[in-house]
Structure 1
Amino acid sequence: MSSVLRNLQQDVFDQSEERLITCCHVSKYLKKKKTSFLCLVSTTSLPYNISIVQVKQTDKQLLKKKRNWSLAELKSVDGHNENYDTLEYDLHLDKVYRWVATSSKERHAFIHNLWKQTNRHVLKDKPMFKNIPKAWITEDALTPENKYVTLPLLALENDLAEDFQAITDKEQEDLKRLMSGCEFAISNAEAFMEILARDLSLLDGENVQCVLASEEQVESLMEQLELAINEADRMETQLNAYDEILCHVRDTMEKMEKKNSMISVVNTNNQLLMQELEHMVTKLDLPEEFQRTLDNADFTSHEGLAAAIKAANALKVAMNSNIDKALLQMTAVQEQRKKFEKYKEKFSRSLSRQINNLFIHYGNHKGESDKSTEGLILPQHSAVHKELYAYMELMHWMKVMDKKIYESLKDVYTTSLGKLYDRDLRGLFNTAREKIEAFNTVSSPTALIGLDRDMWSLETSVQDRKRYDTVLEQVLTQLEPVLLQEQQFCVKFFQTTLDGADLSVEVVPLRKAEKQIDEDVRTMMSNLFACLKTELDLLIDHIKKQDSFYCMYVLVRLNQHVMSAQSSFLSNTFASQLIEVKRSLDQFIQQQIESIKECRLPRKSKVGILSYVSNLEVFATNADCLLKSERRADLEKWYTRLVDTMLEYIAIHSGDQKTRSQVIKMENYHHLYSLLSQLKISVLDNQRREAKQRYNDALQAYVTENFGRPLEKLNTFFEGVQGRVASGVKASEVSYQLAFSKQELRKVISQYPGNTVKKGLEALYKKVEKHLSEEGNLLQVVWRAMQEEFIKQYKMLEDLIQQCYPGSMVSLEFTIEDILHFFSDIARSH
């Protein structure tokens, strides 16, 4: 450790004339690889300054100062705990530095010396030492490097070290001379001490005599001192006088400075007041030219209208200028504002009269129309809008400056133009109804799927329906540009969606205006086109009277136009009508379902294909327009319910007829399955598979029930054989039973020659032909199923003969080829 101290002193602190008191080899907490020396250092000259220095070793193995703190900056020392072996301690300086010493001895010495130096050199706000052993922070504490010295000697050494001063060269020469005069000083110290004491006594006596001899000089000195004191008193009096003069000057200067400050404040306030007045006068100033224009506005010429707009905007700026409330109390300001109010009222009346007359005049406008739409024309009024747009800025001005007149003008516009649009709309819809009525004269058409086709009153052809759809499309197409154009005009001209907006803002584009449609726009459009909803209802009702399936293609058309006229009054109107037509569609399909449930079948005649099953194809053809549109989901939902109801009621209706139940099921499920396969409606895939399964079940049940067992006696014989085998008799030994001998088997087989079997099959074919209907077209299918059933029974009998009568050479008198020939001949002959 001593070598480290020596190196630090020589390499670091000698250069700055500092003395190293102690040091501690440390590292930062959690960074043990980065080590340094924490040193306690003192200056070598008075007054002594103590500092804490961190010294690091560079990459070139040189010691260099990194940080330096004055001892006065130390706020506290935290040893973490009072354990002697703890290595950590914190120094609270400009921030908290947490150190880890390499040895407990160095930590002990550093903290103790730190405490001693703070006690001696820090006079106030001494740092706090906490979690430190009490023995380390006492004056007589031992440190590891001096613990072999007794406490008294250690204290004395420290005191001498602090009071020690080196002797000068002159004092050293005098001491040598004194020592040379007494050669025995070293060998006989007592004798040398006596000599020194004697010499000291002699010197004291000589000093006393010298003092007594210099009494006169002392008195003279005292007189001089008295004179000096008097002179000092005089000088003090003079200085006091000067001080009073300076105080008076200071007070005077302060007063002058205060006056100058007040003058500056007054000047600043005057400037601000002048600026405010100039600003107010500028805002409230209305040029003479604008005043004349406001008094006698000309709205008939282009130049006069431009001048009126400019003057009106200037008046609006002046009247709406932001002036301090205190200035509004000024008489001149109030008089100017009253003057402006008179200009505003006179200009508003003139402008209101001009625009009011224009609105009434344009209420009789004939409009422009396209003659290429076969009489279905809704005239447009873009010319009216174009002429009124010249007054748009003035209308915006009116909205800001005179709300009452603005609202009154809106009412006049909606009343005048409303009559115009009422005339145009009624003409358009009357023409449309006449066109539809000319196509067909059917009233109250009936097309319920559960009724027989001959009970339908639906005489509308596909061509008629296309004509109705075309007329409706033409009407909706005529409505769209006119209403969107009018809405655009209302938004721009009356500024309905930009309430209170600055007139300098650009006009809102059409699409943006449509998105901003609010209640004010809807109210205006509702007043302008008051009869639209009623006329649209009448047109749709008129189509309804001609065609039961109207709700499908009307729904498609309305949906298309709701999408094309998004976020507008027309779109909202179409959407409202769309909801009503959707309800009509729901009612229509519900009526179809109810007609299936209430279907009445003839009891005396053959049933065949049920009416609602055969009518499904017609229904699907008429509903195809809806199925191919964006409203497909509406129909698909009802399709599933409709077909589910059919599947359910085919079974219900088949159980209550003279015709065999399985025949009705078989024919109708087959017909329904075939129709669903043709339609290829994916949402009905489950219903299609269900119909096929039910058809197969009904076919199997019918074949089982009606085919029976053509070889009845043979089947009965072998049932007895199977009974004996089941009771324990071996199959090969059954022939030894008397009742089931080979002779008995040959007798039974002889009863079924080929011609007899064929006659029985011919009778069966006639029976099946009588059961099945021609429209069902299942005779050949059923006959083929019976053929398969007969072959199945034949193979079963052959297998039993081989098992129970092996080697008997007994077999049936006809073969499978004969059976196939019988069935084929019978089918061809019929």
Structure 2
Amino acid sequence: MSGIKNLLQQECFSEEEYKILSVLSVCKLNAKKSRATSILVFVQQNESNFLSIVEVKIGENKEFKKKRSWLLDEFKSIDVKTNKHEFEFVTDARYQFASILLNEKQSFLTMVYKAIQKSPLINNKAIFKNIPESWKVDDDFVVDIQSSKKQQNDEISSAIEFDEHKELSELEVLLETDSQKWLGKDSNSVIRNADKFIEYLTSNLIELDGANVESILTSKAEEKVISLIQIIDSAIDEVECVERTLNEYEEIMSLIRESMEKMGEKNSMIEIANKNNLKLLQELEKLISQLDIGHIHQLALTETDLTTIKGIQAAKDSGKVLLNAISADIDPALIRLSAVQDQRKRFDKWKSKFCSTITRHLNNLFIHLGNDLGEHQASTVEIKLSKHNHHKELSPYQELMHLLKVMDMSSYDALSKVYTGSLSKVYERDLRQFFEQAKYNVTKNHINDELNVSTSSKTKVQIVKVPVYGILGIPKEQWSLILVDTNERKRFDGILEKVLTEIDPVALNEQIFCINFFQLDALSPTLNVKSLPFAVTTPNKETTPSLQPRKINDEVRKMMGELFGILESELLSFILNYEKLDPFYSLYVFVRLNQHVMTAQDAQSFLSMTYASVLVQVKRNFDKFMQLQLQSIQEAKVPKRSKCGLLCFVENFEEFAALIEGIFRKSERRTDLDKWYVKIVDAIFQAINQLSLEHSKTPSQVVKMENYHHMHSQLARLKVTPLENLKKEAKYRYNEALRAYVIKYFGRPLEKLNQFFDGVQNKVSQGIKESEISYQLAFSKQELRKVIAQYPQREVKKGLENLYKKVEKHLCEEENLLQVVWRAMQEEFLAQLSQYEEFVARCYPGSMIALDFTIDEILSFFSEIARSH
């Protein structure tokens, strides 16, 4: 059956899509002849692994045609019908087939059964009927030898049957007839005597071979064979002749090939030699061009003239040429050449001579510039920092300095030290004189200060110790007497701004010059002359320069620190001296200096770092000043006057806040001030509570009421967002103090009447009805009339007048709270009267009992007393 499998695989089932597992030849159940009319093919799809059975019809021209197919999960049952050729498939319909051979049926259906039982893709497994248990074993079933022999013969018969290009001979027809006789239905498809059948087939095969040999050896065939052999012999002779000719040609060609190979090798060697010569010539030309320095440049290097513009330019050009030659990229192998070694020695000699000349000239020039006095200003004129022209004089030598940095680093370092040493003396002298001018302008109009100015190198302005003022905790009288004029502070602020404005361009100009001239923005010097920033633009000395966005490294700050080493100490001395004169100066300095730090073009520049360092000290002084305010509040004492009135720090806070707000308006350090505001106001609240208990004549409620009222008014006018909560707290504390004062000093003026109604309230709380209160002996109508008779209209008015005088004696005039307190007492009295009338209406209905005065009369009493005073 393997032949049929292969044929079906080629014609009906592509190997890429299907794999044939087994085939079975079948016929119709009622057919009389055993010839197969169709084939059942058991196949597997390669991609999805689905198993199916396909019925293939065999046509009249022996072609195959698919008739129908079933997936294994479509079968509902399969009836095997043991020991019979028939079997049955049941899907939605019933299909009955008869196999040609029983062993094919067993093999086919056994494979179908195992596939259905073991496949995970089949959900509905078919029911097998009449299947033997031996078919269900896992091992392949065993077929006896006779059945195997019969299967092989059947495959041979099928192969012969399907060959459409051959016809059966008479002997083959006879063999087929005998085979059918042996394989007829009488034998029940089983060969009973296989050995006898094999002997029969062998004898027939021998007879056929003999007949074939006999037919070949006939007379006519012999002549044809002899003629064929003669033709073959002549063909062999011709082939040998051709081979001899080809061998001769091959010998000739081998000689020619050897000659050509030798010629090719010679041409290749010549070409390689030419290429090598060209490369060598190019390398030598490149080497010569890199190491060659013209005679003009040699003279400029050895006889350098730095006194003229033409000589300086020639030195620049020659220095670039020498630097390019020194830094030339030469192959290490060429460096070992004696000519290259000699030329490099000449380079070292020229470089040494060139660098020595530049170093000597610039050294003398730096020392000369260090003796320059600049535009000297007398101490009595306008504040102005001296200007110098050394940047303009040194600019032509900038490229030479860059070349020196690359060629001779030791000479470069030595020149840098000479420059900083010479120019630092100039700047030190100028800064000392500049700050002396500033001090003179600050103190020349100060009346109460004595200045002791010295002209030594460590001159400091000594200020005579003056009384401390501007502190919240001192009495108001002292605050007002020694408070410095605001115009003086503004003048100091203007002078400080002038000082910083004069320093800014000088320091920034010097920083830009040092970066450009000494190439300080290059972290590591390079030997590539093209990368050196030879072009430089000298900023205008009259305007503040715009610092290019270059990296300000430690080397820049170090050089600037050496040049302006005195700047920070002089600026701090100037600031601290005048902070002693007026503590509020520290606030002006704090705001002004912070403004310069925040608006600096480069936060990493030397000047910004110096200002930032000074600002740290100024910030400490600011915090110290604010801490002094806190301490003065905590240490404040109550005034010894008869009326306590406003405490000193509460009175001073208004003017203190106005001064502070004028200084810090639109300042970036507003948050620092707001933090201190919260601390100071909180300290004021605590001090009010503490000191309110210490005054001997003024009630604590009055002290709290007046001071909290004043603080609430000040905070409302100040409108500082972080103080909003404290403003609300001041309002709350003021109301609480007012309510406590009214309750304590107004009290209950109709005391006996209050006691009477308190007793009524107690009885009601004990369970007595309000309508039965009048039947109680102690709370009868007669008793109520007696109590009311004790408070005639005249006595009540007199008591109110005395109360007004007492309140007027407690309160101070500054806060004008007398009418406020009096109105609060009026409301309290009216509330008590309303309560009395309510008790009479509920407990003594219809008694016609009333006080000797009405609410309107009480209102007129309060108004009359207030107007009379």
TM-score by length of 1: 0.75
Aligned to 2:319: 312
2:649 corresponds to which of 575, 595, 612: 612
Q: CA 1:204 to 1:476, structure 2 compared with 1: closer, same or farther past 3 Å?
A: closer
Quote how far apart the aligned CAs of 1:712 are. 1.1
User: Which secondary structure state, in structure 1, belongs to the residue aligned with residue 444 of structure 2?
Assistant: helix
Please tell me whether the aligned partners of residues 514 and 566 of structure 1 are also in contact (alpha carbons under 8 angstroms). Answer: no
The Cα offsets for residues 427-461 of structure 1, whole Å up to 9 and x where unpaired, read as: 11111122222243353534321222345585322
| Equivalent position to 2:364, from 344, 357, 364 | 357
Q: What is the aligned partner in structure 1 of residue 437 from structure 2?
A: 431
Cα gap change, 1:255 to 1:782, in 2 (>3 Å): same
Compute the displacement of 1:77 (Å): 9.1
- The question of 1:329 aligning with 2:336 is answered yes
User: Residue 406 in 1 paired to residue 406 in 2?
Assistant: no
Provide the aligned C-alpha RMSD in A: 3.8
1:651 corresponds, among 678, 689, 692, to 689
Pairing partner for 1:293 from 286, 296, 300 = 300
Paired amino acid for 1:474:
K
Are residues 1:467 and 2:496 paired? no
Is 1:155 the counterpart of 2:159? The answer is yes
Q: 1:571-630: per-residue Cα shift (whole Å, max 9, x none)?
A: 111111111111211122122112222222256843221122112112212211125311
Secondary structure of the structure 1 residue equivalent to 2:11 = strand
Amino acid at match of 1:450: G
CA distance in 1, matches of 2:741, 2:404: 88
Structure 2 residue corresponding to 1:639, chosen from 677, 702, 708: 677
Partner residue in 1 for 2:382: 375
Distance 1:24 1:780 in 2: 118
Which one of the candidate residues 697, 714, 732 is aligned to 2:753?
Answer: 714
Q: What is the aligned partner in structure 2 of residue 588 from structure 1?
A: 625
1:537 aligns with 2:576: no
Distance, in Å, in 2 between the alignment partners of 1:83 and 1:205 is: 59
Q: Counterpart amino acid of 1:259?
A: K
Matched, 1:347 2:360: no
1:700 to 731, 734, 739: 739
**Deviation for aligned residue 1:364:** 2.8
Kindly tell me: are residues 412 and 634 of structure 1, through their superposed partners in 2, closer, same or farther at Cα, counting changes over 3 Å? same
Q: Note the C-alpha offset of 1:757.
A: 0.8
Alpha-carbon contact 2:379-2:437 (below 8 Å) kept:
no
The residue aligned with 1:673 is: 712
Distance 1:622 1:705 in 2: 39
Distance 1:748 1:225, change over 3 A: closer
Q: Which amino acid aligns with 2:835?
A: M
CA shift at 1:293, angstroms? 1.3
Is 2:606 the counterpart of 1:565?
Answer: no
Q: What is the Cα deviation at residue 371 of structure 1?
A: 11
Residues in 2 aligned to 1:593 and 1:553: alpha-carbon distance in whole angstroms: 20
Q: Secondary structure at the match of 1:579?
A: helix
Give runs of aligned pairs for residues 73-472 of structure 1, distance below 5 A. Answer: 78=46, 80-81=48-49, 83-84=51-52, 151-158=155-162, 160-161=163-164, 206-207=219-220, 236=243, 239-368=246-375, 375-381=382-388, 383-440=389-446, 441-442=448-449, 443-444=465-466, 445-455=468-478, 458-472=482-496
Question: Distance in 2 between the 1:740 and 1:359 partners?
Answer: 113
Q: Give unpaired runs (5+ residues) of structure 2.
A: 1-8, 19-43, 56-65, 73-118, 120-152, 169-209, 450-464, 540-544
Give the direction of change, closer, same or farther, for the CA distance of 1:423–1:202 in structure 2 (3 Å limit).
closer
Distance 2:215 2:353 in 1: 129
> Cα deviation per residue 1:453-474 (whole Å; 9 max; x = unaligned)?
3455853221111111111111
Tell me if structure 2 keeps the 8 A contact 1:453–1:611: yes
Partner Cα distance (1:372, 1:419) in 2: 19
SS of the aligned residue for 1:513 comes to: coil
Of the three residues 473, 481, 502, the one matched with 1:478 is 502
Query: Which structure 1 residue ranges, 5 or more long, are not aligned?
Result: 1-19, 29-37, 39-75, 88-100, 108-130, 132-148, 166-196
Q: What residue identity is the alignment partner of 2:607?
A: L
The residue type paired with residue 728 of structure 1 is G
User: 8 Å contact 1:418–1:530 — kept in the other structure?
Assistant: yes
Distance in 2 separating the partners of 1:84 and 1:164: 36
Taking a change above 3 Å as real, the CA distance of residues 265 and 209 of structure 1, as seen in their structure-2 partners, is closer
Aligned to 1:493, which of 510, 517, 524?
A: 517
Distance of aligned partners of 1:661 and 1:27 in 2 relative to their CA distance in 1, 3 Å threshold:
farther
Give yes or no for contact 2:630–2:683 (8 Å, CA) kept in 1. yes
Separation in structure 1 between the aligned mates of residue 165 and residue 571 of structure 2, nearest angstrom: 116
> What is the CA–CA distance in structure 2 between the aligned matches of 1:234 and 1:742, rounded to whole Å?
173
Q: 1:369, 1:377 within 8 Å by CA — same for their partners in 2?
A: no
Counterpart Cα distance in 1 of 2:628 and 2:700: 27
Q: C-alpha offsets along residues 741-779 of structure 1, whole Å, 9 cap, x if unaligned?
A: 223222222221222111101111111122222334322
Are residues 1:824 and 2:863 paired? yes
1:806 is matched with: 845
* Aligned residues of 2:399 and 2:534 also touching (Cα < 8 A): no
SS at match of 1:84: strand
User: Does the 8 Å contact 1:627/1:636 carry over to 2?
Assistant: no
**In 2: Cα distance, 1:613 partner to 1:269 partner:** 101
Q: Distance in 1 between matches of 2:286 and 2:746?
A: 114
Query: Counterparts of 2:392 and 2:619 in 1: how far apart (Å)?
Result: 39
Instruction: Map Cα deviations across residues 489-527 of structure 1 (whole Å, 9 max, x no partner).
Output: 111111100242522565489656354211111011111
User: What SS class does the counterpart of residue 589 from structure 1 fall into?
Assistant: helix
Task: Count how many residue pairs are aligned between Structure 1 and Structure 2.
Answer: 678
CA 1:227/1:102 → structure 2, altered by over 3 Å: closer, same or farther?
Answer: closer
- 1:491–1:513: 8 Å Cα contact kept in structure 2? no
Describe the SS at the equivalent of 2:331: coil
CA contact (8 A) 1:418 1:527 kept: yes
Look up the equivalent residue of 2:429 and give its one-letter code.
Answer: R
- Give, in angstroms, the shift of residue 720 of structure 1: 1.8
Q: 1:208 to 1:255 in 2, by over 3 A?
A: closer
8 Å CA contact 2:646–2:706 kept in 1: the answer is yes
Q: Shift in Å at residue 734 of structure 1? A: 2.0
Matched residue of 2:491: which SS? helix
Q: Deviations over 1:666-721 (max 9, x none)?
A: 11111111111111111100000000000100100010001011111111121122
Offset of residue 640 of structure 1 = 0.7
Distance 1:812 1:202, change over 3 A: closer
Task: Say if 1:206 and 1:722 are closer, same or farther in 2 by CA, change over 3 A.
Answer: closer
Change in CA separation of 1:636 and 1:289 when aligned onto 2, cut-off 3 Å: same
**Do the aligned partners of 1:650 and 1:665 also contact (CA within 8 Å) in 2?**
yes
- Structure 1 residue 599 and structure 2 residue 636: aligned? yes
SS in 1 for 2:587: helix
What does 1:675-754 align with in structure 2 at a 5 Å threshold?
A: 675-754=714-793
Where 1:800 maps in the other structure, the secondary structure is helix
Secondary structure of the residue aligned to 2:332 is coil
Cα pair 1:458 1:547 within 8 Å, conserved: no
